[in-house]
Chain A
Amino acid sequence: MTLATAASTLVCCIGNDLVADDGVACRVFERLQALELPGSPRVEQVGVGGLDLLELLTGAEGSLVVVDAVQFGAPPGTVHCLDWQDLPAARGMAVSAHAIGLRETVEVGKVVCPDKLPSRIVLVGIEGRRFDELGGAMTPETAAAVDTAARRVRDLLFTFEQEAEVDE
């Protein structure tokens, strides 16, 4: 193993499993436990994203994969895979402190803790539809995408490993 491959990957699944489709990343987290993942990443689950993500970084991570429910306007169950730079910027100001977008979080991190930011940050986003029902069930299409999303994470990790080997 070289230093390049030793740089670890953090997979962070964000969601509230009590709130319908917001729980989809929690299901992906469970699926990931059952899969054999390349490069032995650290897999974590958190309730809300935003600035808390920065707290999870140790500075040793080469890559960060964020798994979360999204609303990009695609059909429910669509799995998106995007670099953080390609995420749409928040348009207006927040009216609630509950969440800051991944893009904004990374931009904040670049100023306050540049040394801790991994060089690669990717979002695996699962399109959901039902987000306002505490105790509500997941949309069937979203629930059906859990396996796909978990496999996308595994494939991403595999790519990271291969790239690291090429760099050797």
Chain B
Amino acid sequence: MTRTIRIDPVTRIEGHAKVFLELDEDGEIASAGLVVNELRGFERILVGMAAEQMPLVTARICGVCPTAHHLAATDALEHAAGVTPPPAAKLLRELMYMGHLIHSHTLSLFVLQGPDLIMGLDADPAVRNIVGVVQANPDAAKKALRCRSLGQKINELVGGRGTHPVTSVAGGITFELDDSRHKMLSGWADETLALLSELVPLAKGLLLQQIELHPALMADWIVPAWSLGTVKDGRISMLDGPLRAVDEAGNTRLEFPAEAYDGHLEESVIEWSYMKQVHIKDGDRHHEYRVGPMARINVGGTYGTPLADAELATLRELGGQPCHAVVLQTYSRLIELLYAAERAQEILRDPALGGPTRVPVQFTGGRGVGHVEAPRGTLIHDYEIDDQGLVRSANLIVATQQNYASINRVIAQAAASHVLGKADDAALLNAVEFGIRCFDPCLSCATHALGEMPMEIAITRDTQVVRRITRAD
């Protein structure tokens, strides 16, 4: 008999990222998964709020990707009101977003992948962490942190405020860029690209070295799935364009505007988790799919900037197209960092940046769907707005939800090769953590002062927990 345990609501807040592995009668993995938090409560609190509040309120969902929510919300409102923002506003939003992408991807690479790359996948977890990385290579660490600050400075100057941006509104952007700010932004974009020209080859070299040391990374850590991303005029796009889905072999299977998402993406509740998972619906079949940098590369053509596209060609030689190697998601993030810095420079050279930035907007009732490619993948905001301009219902689809099925499959694969017939807990933890990290999932970001929640793996059999594994043991 195979049964999966339910997570008891009382025990779910012990401060552990929980992974469970359910074994069947023969001791084989029957199911596996990461237990994550819910978002539904948030959709409920949006109901009754004024529509124009959405870009401000949704930016506060998460301290890590506020700009993605800020812009997805603005896009949804503009669709609801039926307005098109002026070209200068679109460019300023994109510039703000490039800053955000630099900030977010640098953090992921530095905090999540840095320890594996610099210390080595086999290093003792006691040193294979951010402090170990900084002590081992202070110069690169300083440059990476500077790069991250520069991304944040660009994001803040255009976004108008620290953590939570405020300048993007339905109809455009609340200010016009003056010369002094333009000059400052250009300086920051140039400095970012100069730093990346040192950091990207370094990170890439370390990544290739780990791949050489661990052939299993390219042999066993392969998770074929459909990919979803945004394309515009044959290019990978972050803020504008239809969604495209390709299958495991890279064939384009669907292309649809974001407002048609609910006809193609199907949310479903899982018994053991608070997060709904999402599948692509194609006729009467449901397909697991991924979003994020690698998925964008799998659906799209090129980025359209020289340095990013040169690296993209190398990635495709290494991992194929489409690429399903979990470890190469790190490489795809490096490519997007280059793209973000190059694109920021391009935008700053565009004369259209100087034009008017706002058109008037009135909400007369109706539905609006907006989307962006958040650093971790496609983010969709869907609002129903009444004739008073109040939100009547809201639905949000976030990246981690869409990657959830793949994350759980990676956990099952990692566990199958480390649990069965072995009792090496450290190797199991390493493998499971590594698999999850490659997706950079959004988990609870509570209890900041204590850092990331330590992970707990519960192995269950016939509804009974037979073992619990944590680092502390």
Interface residues of A, Cβ cutoff 8 Å to B: 14-19, 21-22, 46-52, 54-55, 66, 68-72, 87-88, 90-104, 107-108, 111-112, 123, 125, 128-136
Contact = CB atoms under 8 A, between A and B. Distances in A.
A134 B60 CA distance: 11
Given A69-B446, A112-B142, A93 B451 contact: no
A51 B61 contact: no
B418 to A, nearest CB: 16
A21 B134 contact: no
A18 to B, nearest CB: 6
B53 to A, nearest CB: 13
Contacts of A131: 13, 444, 446-447
A41 B164 CA distance: 23
In the complex, which range does the number of interface residues on chain B fall in? 35 or more
Interface stretch (B41-49, B254-262, B339-347, B359-367): B41-49
Contact of B60 (A47, A90, A102, A130): A47
Interface string B104-132: 00011001100100000000010011110
Contact of B451 (A55, A94, A123): A94
Contacts of B17: 95-96
A98 B148 CA distance: 14
Contact of B448 (A54, A91, A99): A99
14 contacts: A14-B449, A16-B446, A47-B62, A47-B163, A66-B449, A88-B450, A91-B125, A96-B442, A97-B108, A100-B451, A102-B449, A112-B145, A130-B13, A134-B41
A91 to B, nearest CB: 4
A16 B60 contact: yes
B27 to A, nearest CB: 26
B454 interface: yes
B67 to A, nearest CB: 12
Contacts of A18: 42, 45, 60-61
B66 interface: yes
A7 B345 CA distance: 39
A132 B274 contact: yes
Given A46-B162, A100-B130, A130-B13, A135 B41 contact: yes
Contact of A132 (B12, B135, B164): B12
A69 B447 contact: yes
Which of A46, A107, A132 gathers the greatest number of chain B CB atoms within 10 Å? A132
A95 B452 contact: yes
A87 B131 CA distance: 15
Given A111-B141, A129-B13, A135-B42, A71 B115 contact: no
A161 to B, nearest CB: 24
A90 B453 CA distance: 8
B13 A101 contact: no
B149 A108 contact: no
B134 A98 contact: no
Given A71-B450, A88-B450, A93 B134 contact: no
A68 B448 contact: yes
A16 B63 contact: yes
A19 B446 CA distance: 8
A104 B440 CA distance: 19
Contact of A104 (B37, B40, B129, B436): B129
Contact of A55 (B111, B131, B149): B149
B471 A92 contact: yes
B455 interface: yes
B82 interface: no
Given A18-B42, A47-B163, A92-B454, 12 more contacts: A47-B63, A71-B13, A91-B470, A94-B112, A94-B451, A96-B445, A99-B445, A100-B452, A102-B448, A130-B13, A134-B37, A134-B41
Interface in B65-80: 66
A55 B445 contact: no
